[in-house]
């Protein structure tokens, strides 16, 4: 009877495990499964965390918020994001101080269509904890200008406009694998200024991160994963400025099967969030 009990318990336990439906799995850069606890602990020892996301992934947006809340229990934080552009810093500060409400903020700032669902919770957390939140990205009209005319077009900007971008001239390595891949993916539609437009975003975000670093504080920056994958992009510009800066990177990928990371997704970052491809999209 006791033997039968153990066998029955085994199969019940097995069936419960088999029925588990996980929306994501964490891996280290070498493809070994890891835990949220380890990722959080690693972040405590960093000066900058580049949290790479898929902009429409509901699970990653939830995880960003939980990660930020939990890290704030351990460390002083500064937050920043690709999703708010540098020339809207004044309006962002007004919202954080309670000088304008969300409706006014929506009106005076160029917020993304999914701001209320995906980024407002992060901004509101900063507001509730009196944290600095940095509008880190270059105004899109200037990135578009680089795409059309190259870096040289930035020289014509006014003194005020230049305060919203990384200092000129913009450093650029066209041979970085991420920029090369971008051109390869576009095929016949590729244009040499395309990766330059990406680079000016990376450089500007890195600049505003560096500008707002504080001692004994972790700067958590939210960005599209392609801006920091493979330790390039923002990471490359930060390290160029300060080779000793302690940076932790997080990448996001989607797979049909999250139980094993696909080879092409290895070494993207220190921690890799593999989400189920069927996760609800926010737009």
* CATH number of the domain bearing residue 27: 3.40.50.11550
**For residue 260, which of 274, 245, 240 has the smallest C-alpha distance?**
274
**pLDDT at residue 20, as a whole number:** 80
> 7 lies in a domain?
no
Q: How far apart are CA 235 and CA 267, in angstroms?
A: 14
**pLDDT at residue 19, as a whole number:** 53
> 282 lies in a domain?
no
> 281 lies in a domain?
no
**pLDDT at residue 7, as a whole number:** 47
> 4 lies in a domain?
no
Structure tokens, 89: 């810093």
**pLDDT at residue 5, as a whole number:** 43
Helix axes 194-211 and 234-241, enclosed angle (nearest 10): 50
Number of domains in the chain: 1
Q: What is the mean pLDDT of each run of 10 residues along the chain (283 residues)?
A: 45 48 96 98 98 97 98 98 98 98 96 97 98 98 97 98 98 94 80 94 98 98 98 98 98 97 97 97 92
65 is in which domain, residue-wise? 21-276
Q: How far apart are CA 104 and CA 91, in angstroms?
A: 9
Place of tokens 């993916």: 185
> 283 lies in a domain?
no
């Amino acid at each position: 009877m006791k033997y039968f009990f153990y066998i029955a318990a085994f199969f019940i336990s097995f069936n419960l495990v088999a029925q588990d439906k996980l929306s994501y799995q964490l891996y280290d850069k070498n493809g070994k499964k890891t835990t949220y606890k380890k990722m959080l602990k690693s972040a405590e020892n960093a000066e900058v965390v580049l949290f790479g996301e898929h902009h429409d992934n509901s699970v990653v947006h939830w995880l960003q918020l939980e990660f930020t809340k939990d890290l704030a229990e351990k460390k002083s934080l500064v937050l920043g994001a690709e999703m708010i552009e540098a020339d809207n810093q004044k309006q962002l500060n007004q919202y954080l101080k309670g000088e304008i409400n969300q409706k006014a903020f929506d009106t005076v700032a160029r917020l993304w269509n999914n701001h209320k669902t995906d980024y407002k919770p992060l901004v509101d957390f900063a507001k509730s904890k009196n944290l600095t939140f940095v509008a880190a990205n270059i105004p899109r009209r200037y990135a578009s200008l680089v795409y059309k005319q190259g870096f040289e077009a930035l020289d014509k900007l006014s003194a005020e406009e230049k305060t919203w971008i990384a200092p000129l001239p913009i450093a650029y390595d066209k041979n970085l694998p991420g920029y090369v891949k971008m051109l390869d993916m576009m095929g016949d539609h590729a244009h040499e200024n395309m990766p330059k437009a990406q680079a000016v975003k990376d450089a500007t975000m890195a600049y505003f991160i560096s500008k707002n670093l504080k001692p004994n504080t972790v700067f958590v920056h939210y960005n599209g994963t392609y801006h920091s994958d493979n330790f390039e992009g923002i990471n490359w510009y930060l390290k160029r400025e300060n080779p000793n800066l302690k940076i932790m990177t997080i990448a996001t990928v989607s797979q049909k099967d999250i139980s094993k990371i696909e080879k092409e997704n290895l070494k993207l970052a220190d921690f890799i969030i593999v989400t189920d491809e069927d996760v609800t999209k926010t737009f």
